[in-house]
Amino acid sequence: MSPIPKTAPFAEEEIDLLNRVVGTASPIQRAWLAGFLAGIDASGGVLLPQPATQARPAEPLTIVYASESGNSEKLASDLAKAARKNGLKPNIVDMADLELAALTEAKRLVIIAATWGEGEPPARSVRTYNELMGESAPRLDGIEFGVLALGDTAYAEFCAIGKKIDERLAALGGKRVVDRVDCDLDFTEPAARWIGDAVKVLTPPNAGGRVIEVDFGAKPAAVPGTDIVEAKIIEHVDLNSSRSDKETMHLALSFEGSAPAYEPGDSLDVYAENDPAYVDELLKITGLAGNDKLRTEFIKSRDVTTLSLKAVEIYAERTGHHYVKALIAAGQAKEWIAGRQLIDLIATFPIAIDAETLRALTRPLAPRAYSIASSRREVGDEAHLLISAVRYDSRGRARKGVASNYVAERRKRGDRLRVRLKPNKHFALPAGDKDIIMVGPGTGIAPFRAFVQERRATQAPGRSWLFFGDRTFTHDFLYQLDWQEALKDGALTRMDVAFSRDRPEKVYVQHKLWERRVELVEWLDGGAYFYVCGDAKAMAKDVRNALVRAYADVKALSPVAAEQAVSALEREKRYLQDVY
């Protein structure tokens, strides 16, 4: 763009020079320059030593994110970029680090919040979330706010945390200026639209430039090194014995060229395909069998198993099915969905549907995350995964998890697998001289294999202590030889194991923590980092409770003081979780 015309009262080379500067300037820079020059004129042509006051300070925008696997965090950064372009001064805060009192100073506030567990806040955000919901939360009178909620319609408590935060901010006196949007797993487009709207609404007219229209529908630029890549499976081994009732696959992946630049604690997203037998049955009961193009599409790219409330509503609306409508009208649909899949809806309330209706009942097939179980410093350009095949019965049907069975049953050595690096800087190793305590029953052990390999490769002097648990010593001791080796060469200092089905009484990792409580508290008092990975429903909570009880017992603390001791570890980022 050449804003200075050839007719301007300057020499030709001066016009070129000005255009080189002004032509590439942002609206904020142009506004500043205009104000600055006007200021000089107003002062009689004298350059007064106050040019900074000519620029209007950018209006602040506080962006808080509550995130576990990084989606909300990434959106917070997208929002900040867009806000900055519009002359706002964004300040991004992880909810984990937020002091609520600071919110009272905010003029404009956006919260981007994910829901985890069964309608719970992301682990790191629990403390702040509880304070926000608690009686002593500060008033937020007049603060303009908007909430973007992230979730998954497969869960009964869809976007529960975003919804509750939105209500709470209003109850505390905040002024909702952007309506909440609840995003499903395919959040890219709705989230980008919401960000576009939010920035428009939250930008005051005097924000140091005019509002720029940004193409929020455009695909966001990929973070370097996180593209989807094809890996080759070079090892595909069941680590459980043939007499175990579990199947946990160890996968070694190789890459054309270098492996994605992962660090211990990161995961890989695996892009799986559906079970063709399931898709065939689904197409048969919908009357769509024989359509090969549709079959391929549904195997490769649609989520054909999840049954959400939204899908039930769409089914009722599109088919007009009397009984499904009655189920919704009676408020029983949510309850009916539990333990069922899309195939149950159509099999129970059969009606012929067209391809478009079936497509409308499904969402894009989402990848599944798996912790990386190796360190590049030990395995070079490979990445290892540990994947437990999910199989269970419910409502009279045998069910199989999509991705875990794709890998366990339909992939073998030599096959390809599409994966994408999912970095997790919140579950990283500390400096090498720090002690680490790792609690990882079942597949929760995976990232700790990466930790131990990394510590060996870097000859880290810090001590490391691993707690592992599974069903039986003989059939389910995942990576047993690795741990024995690591204990021998010193990469692992100690290991405690809990096998729940070896003895009449059940023993879990939390029992081992309790048994070892004196040394545990000693390690933590000496600055050790505490890591938990694996089951979020029961294990992670039981482990935390065990640690609180350990503090209370070893240090003779009241339950409240012991809770504060563990909270302090969380605040110091020495209690880290990656649970699912």
Ligand X SMILES: Cc1cc2nc3c(=O)[nH]c(=O)nc-3n(C[C@H](O)[C@H](O)[C@H](O)COP(=O)(O)O)c2cc1C
Q: How far is the CB of 522 from ligand X (least distance, A)?
A: 33
* Using rule CB under 6 A, residue 374 touches ligand X: no
Q: Which of 87, 90, 122, 447 binds ligand X (CB under 6 A)?
A: 122
442 binds ligand X (CB under 6 A): no
Residue whose entry in the numeric block shows the structure tokens 């290991």 = 495
Ramachandran quadrant class, 573 (left: phi over 0; alpha: psi -120 to 50; beta: rest):
left
Q: Using CB under 6 A, which of 70, 196, 220, 430 touches ligand X?
A: 70
Non-local CB neighbours of 536 within 8 Å, separated by 6+ positions: 116, 117, 579, 580
Please say which residue, 388 or 464, places its beta carbon nearer to ligand X: 388
Name the minimum Å distance from CB 190 to ligand X: 12
Q: Phi and psi dihedrals of 555, rounded to 5? A: -105, 10
Query: How many Å apart are CA 101 and CA 95, to the nearest integer?
Result: 13
- Cβ distance to ligand FAD smaller for residue 319 or 404: 404
DSSP secondary structure string, 14-66? HHHHHHHHHTT--HHHHHHHHHHHHHHHHTTT---S-GGGGSPPPEEEEEEEE
Tokens matching residue 376: 């590049």
Among 51, 57, 7, CA closest to 33 = 51
Contact flag: residue 121 with ligand X (CB under 6 A): no
Q: Does 72 bind ligand X (CB under 6 A)?
A: yes
Nearest distance in Å: CB 398, ligand FAD: 11
* 129 touches ligand X by CB under 6 A: no
With CB under 5 to 8 Å by kind, the binding choice for 194 among ligand X, ligand FAD, none is none
Q: Cβ of residue 237: shortest distance to ligand X, in angstroms?
A: 26
Residue 465 or 580 having the CB closest to ligand X: 580
**Quick one: residue 290, left, alpha or beta (phi over 0 = left, psi -120 to 50 = alpha)?**
left
Judged by beta carbon, residue 35 or residue 119, the one nearer ligand X is 119
Element at 414 (helix H, strand E):
none
Task: Considering the complex, state which of residue 93 and residue 579 has its C-beta at the smaller distance from ligand FAD.
Answer: 579
Give residues in contact with ligand FAD (CB under 6 A).
Answer: 69, 267, 305, 339, 368-371, 386-388, 390, 392, 394, 401-405, 443, 446, 578, 580
Length in residues, the chain = 580
The least distance separating ligand X from the CB of residue 117, rounded to whole angstroms, comes to 6
Query: Of residues 62, 64, 67, 512, which one binds ligand X by CB under 6 A?
Result: 67
Considering the complex, state which of residue 67 and residue 203 has its C-beta at the smaller distance from ligand FAD.
67
Q: Show contacts with ligand X in window 339-368 (CB under 6 A).
A: none
Residue 122, binding choice from ligand X, ligand FAD, none, Cβ under 5 to 8 Å by partner class: ligand X
Mask: binding to ligand X, 33-52, rule CB under 6 A, as x and -? --------------------
How far apart, in whole angstroms, are the C-alpha atoms of residue 535 and residue 551? 23
Toward ligand X, which CB reaches closer, 115 or 203?
115
Q: At closest approach, how far in Å is the CB of 312 from ligand FAD?
A: 16
The residue from 61, 78, 90, 117 that contacts ligand X (CB under 6 A) is 117
Given ligand X, ligand FAD, none, residue 392, with its beta carbon under 5 to 8 Å by kind, binds: ligand FAD
* Residue 368, contacted partner among ligand FAD, ligand X, none, CB below 5-8 A by kind: ligand FAD
Structure-block tokens of residue 333: 């649909």
- Which CA distances in Å does 419 have to 75, 271, 301, 416? 22, 6, 15, 10
Residue number of the CB atom closest to ligand X? 151
Q: How far is the CB of 449 from ligand X (least distance, A)?
A: 21
Binding mask 184-203 for ligand X (x = CB under 6 A): -x------------------
535: exposed, middle or buried (C-beta count within 10 Å: 0-12, 13-18, 19+)? Answer: middle
Binding partner selected for residue 150 from ligand X, ligand FAD, none, CB under the kind-specific 5 to 8 Å limit:
ligand X
Interaction residues for ligand X, span 520-549 (CB under 6 A): 536
Residue 261 and residue 448 in contact, taking contact as beta carbons nearer than 8 Å: no
Q: Between 138 and 167, how does the x/- string for binding to ligand X read (CB under 6 A)?
A: ------------xxx--x-xxxx-------
Instruction: Count Cβ atoms within 10 A of the Cβ of residue 118 and give its class: 0-12 exposed, 13-18 middle, 19 or more buried.
Output: exposed
Q: Which residues are bridge partners to 382 per DSSP?
A: 254
With a CB cutoff of 8 Å and minimum separation 6, the contacts of 370 are: 267, 268, 270, 385, 386, 387, 446
Q: Kind and range of the H or E element at 552?
A: helix 539-554
> 341 touches which of ligand X, ligand FAD, none (CB within 5 to 8 A by kind)?
none
Q: Which is nearer to ligand X, 308 or 374 (CB)?
A: 308
Residues 6+ apart with CB under 8 A from 105: none
Task: Label residues 4-19 b or e (16+ Cβ within 10 Å = b).
Answer: beeeeeeeeeebeeeb
Contact by Cβ (8 Å): 183, 190: yes
Q: Where are the beta strands (DSSP E) in 171-265?
A: 175-183, 228-238, 248-255
**548 contact, one of ligand FAD, ligand X, none, CB 5-8 Å limit per kind:** none
Task: Give 116 or 465: the residue with its C-beta nearer to ligand X.
Answer: 116
What residues make contact with ligand X under the rule CB under 6 A? Answer: 67-72, 114-119, 122, 150-152, 155, 157-160, 185, 536, 580
